[in-house]
Amino acid sequence: MEDKQRQQDIYFAKLQIDRAQKAIDHCSHDIAQMELKLLDPYLSEFEKNKIREMRDYQQRNLDSAQAELRDAQRKLSDLEPASPFGPPQEPPQTS
């Protein structure tokens, strides 16, 4: 029963990672598009201010998604068993 719960927790952590990564990709794309729009010399200052507000909003969403990604990755690393080979070790000294 405990193993089943652990597998379910791993599944949900992976879903959270996927969701956060998609949000990061979306926000990054939107921010880049807005930065390009801000370079348009024909936009009024009013329009530029609206774009800046939306860009700042997307930046906050991006920061939140990045924090969620870090949290989900930490959860997953806590849940998944360590490699059976263990961490890399130094080769033996020959002297």
Q: Tell me: the pLDDT tens digits for 34-73? A: 999 999 999 999 999 999 999 999 999 999 999 999 999 9
The pLDDT, as a whole number, for residue 18 is 97
- Counting the structural domains of the chain, the total is 1
Q: How many CA atoms lie within 13 A of 55 on its CB side?
A: 14
In a domain, 34, yes or no: yes
In the predicted model, is pLDDT for residue 95 greater than 80? no
In a domain, 95, yes or no: no
In a domain, 33, yes or no: yes
Q: Which domain holds residue 58?
A: 2-79
- Higher pLDDT: 20 or 80? It is 20
Count Cβ atoms within 10 A of the Cβ of residue 73 and give its class: 0-12 exposed, 13-18 middle, 19 or more buried.
middle
In a domain, 89, yes or no: no
In a domain, 84, yes or no: no
In a domain, 57, yes or no: yes
Percent of the chain with pLDDT over 70: 85
What mean pLDDT value characterizes the chain?
A: 89
Say what the pTM is.
0.78
